[in-house]
Amino acid sequence: MATVLHIRATATPELSYSLRAAEAFLESYLTSHPGETVGTMNVAEEAVPEFLGLTARGKYRILRGESHTREEAEAWKGVEAEIERFKKADKLVISSPMWNFGIPYRLKQYFDVIVQPGYTFAYSPEKGYTGLVTGRPAMLILARGGEYRAGTDSAAFDFQRPYLESILGFIGFTEIGTIIVEPTLQGGPELAEQRLAETIVAAREKARTF
Ligand SMILES: Cc1cc2nc3c(=O)[nH]c(=O)nc-3n(C[C@H](O)[C@H](O)[C@H](O)COP(=O)(O)O)c2cc1C
């Protein structure tokens, strides 16, 4: 039985378009995949380990083939716990707002924690970088206040979708789907609700074969 990890990043769940689309996706997923389970990591509310002095030094130690100090090893346990939870899932769903053309900082912090040499990617001079999180699909469910459709001038400002696709690709994901709700602000609430309704229909359909 597969386990889905839903990483949600909205800071305002009561107003969220990405969350409502993700809930519709997951509801449809569970209906069409009875017995499977969904776990949630709410990066806006749950503690994400700090990635500063001790943990950042811990990463450099691994990259240089050195051992952790006692304090670094202690701090590193939090990183390992988060990676274990991430790698345990058979399928990944990320729902996220666009913030300042990219992702909210807590979601970026989460990636700073879980993207680690020897855990989620490997490097060798012969092969270069290799992702270690393989054989599982991911679905990105994204909301943006504006509109960033391919072929328009604003598409160049979209660092949300390309970042998520690139970082997941870096750690080994090859099957990455995308569901987008936009514009959620520009164009007013009526258009936003109409786009959400259209997105939910598509999300429910995609969930059946996820
Ligand atoms: C701090 C912050 C930064 C934002 N930056 C952008 C942005 O750069 N581009 C954009 O189109 N919308 C931006 N928005 C609007 C959100 O992307 C939009 O409201 C989206 O629907 C939020 O996702 P949610 O509805 O799932 O919470 C921003 C909102 C906040 C709170």
The domain over range 3-17+35-145 is classified in CATH as 3.30.565.10 = no
Atom of ligand 1 nearest to the CA of 182: 21
Across 54-75, average pLDDT: 97
Question: What pLDDT score does 1 carry?
Answer: 85
Q: Is pLDDT at 189 greater than 90 in this prediction? A: yes
Question: What pLDDT score does 98 carry?
Answer: 98
Q: Is pLDDT at 55 greater than 90 in this prediction? A: yes
Across 113-129, average pLDDT: 96
Across 155-184, average pLDDT: 98
Instruction: Give whole-number Cα distances, 102 to 106, 143, 196, in Å.
Output: 12, 11, 20
Which of 207, 204, 97, 113 has the alpha carbon at shortest distance from 159?
97
Across 99-123, average pLDDT: 98
Q: Which residues line ligand 1 (CB under 6 A)?
A: 10, 12, 15-19, 97-101, 143-146, 184-185
Atom 27 (ligand 1): residue with closest C-alpha?
A: 16
Atom 8 (ligand 1): residue with closest C-alpha?
A: 100
- The token pair at 45 is 């509310």
Mean pLDDT of the chain: 97
pTM of the model: 0.97
Across 148-155, average pLDDT: 95
Domain layout of the chain by residue ranges: 3-17+35-145
Question: What pLDDT score does 136 carry?
Answer: 97
Which of 136, 185, 140 has the alpha carbon at shortest distance from 25?
140
Question: What pLDDT score does 87 carry?
Answer: 98
Across 146-175, average pLDDT: 97
Atom of ligand 1 nearest to the CA of 148: 11
